[in-house]
Amino acid sequence: MELTIAHLYPDAMSLYGEYANITVLRRKLEALGVEAAVREITFEDAADLSGADFIYMGAGTERRQKAVLNAAASLGARLKAAVEDGAVLLFTGNAMETLGASVTDAAGKVWPGYGLAEFTTVETDRRDPGDVVAESSLWDAPAVGFMNKCSATHGITSPVFSELPLGFGNEAEHGPEGYVSGNVFGTHLTGPVLVKNPQMLDFFVRRLFAVKGWVCPEALPELPHQRAAYEVTLRELRARI
């Protein structure tokens, strides 16, 4: 069994060690006998997404986010085509914002997004760094992570997380967070989020098996120490709620 992971702009969009999301996903897949090839796409590349099964972009500074939007004017169409061909897409941190219709920066300049969704993001003078506990119906465990955002995202009706017992959501404290539509997922949570959350990692592994038409084992192998670390983090964060 083989699949291809496309990692978009790892040189620019890996502010919180987000490359580790790809590392842990690859390790999990290899433990299941899947050979996962990683195709890294930088500013110098033509963003070839043909044959990609999983597409990922991590968090960057506000300046680098705008560079990504400016440097890849045709990326939206390629992303849409890849998703229509069955690719699973996950954007974390402020990469999530690029999936929408636009990002308005703090100076009022409007940057067109990739257009996979209709939501819009506006940067504000409020920055909300902090730990997060998030509830989702997609898997049977709260998610934990970190968020450092200075924006509000409007118009999302299908969030990944229904509420944040700890943290700032798309538009409000404790509100819904992230975006999901079909196989397109976005969340401001970093951490890296797949490293911190074993059940979230399992969710994406199962989704990849499903789109490839493979039979996924009912019980997935666990990576060393991942679940224990998650349980310690969740317990400590819940004590602050």
State pLDDT tens for residues 114-143.
Answer: 999 999 999 988 887 999 999 999 999 999
Query: pTM higher than 0.95 for the full model?
Result: yes
End-to-end Cα distance, the chain: 43
Q: Are 155 and 120 in contact (CB under 8 A)?
A: yes
pLDDT in tens, 193-225: 999 999 999 999 999 999 999 999 999 999 999
Residue ranges covered by each domain of the chain: 2-238
Q: What is the pLDDT of residue 48?
A: 86
2-238: what fold? Rossmann fold (3.40.50)
In angstroms, rounded to a whole number, what is the distance separating the alpha carbons of residues 24 and 2? Answer: 16
**DSSP secondary structure letters along the chain:** -EEEEEEE-TTTS-TTSTHHHHHHHHHHHHHTT-EEEEEEE-TTS----TT-SEEEE----HHHHHHHHHH-TTHHHHHHHHHHTT-EEEEEGGGGGGGSSEEE-TTS-EEE---SS--EEEEEEEEEEEEEEEE-SSSSS-EEEEEEEEEEEE--SS-SBSEEEESB-SSSBT--B-EEETTEEEES-BSSHHHH-HHHHHHHHHHHHHHHTPPPPSSPPPPTTHHHHHHHHHHHHHTT-
Radius of gyration of the chain (CA): 17
For 79, other C-beta atoms within 10 Å of its C-beta total 27
In angstroms, rounded to a whole number, what is the distance separating the alpha carbons of residues 203 and 52? Answer: 18
Q: What is the pLDDT of residue 149?
A: 93
Closest C-alpha to 103, from 163, 60, 135, 133 = 60
Q: Are strands 179-181 and 184-187 parallel, antiparallel or unpaired?
A: antiparallel
Q: What is the pLDDT of residue 74?
A: 82
In angstroms, rounded to a whole number, what is the distance separating the alpha carbons of residues 235 and 143? Answer: 12
pLDDT in tens, 23-77: 999 999 999 999 999 999 988 777 789 999 999 999 999 999 999 998 766 899 9
Q: Are 41 and 6 in contact (CB under 8 A)?
A: yes
In angstroms, rounded to a whole number, what is the distance separating the alpha carbons of residues 171 and 186? Answer: 15
Tokens of 211: 């789109």
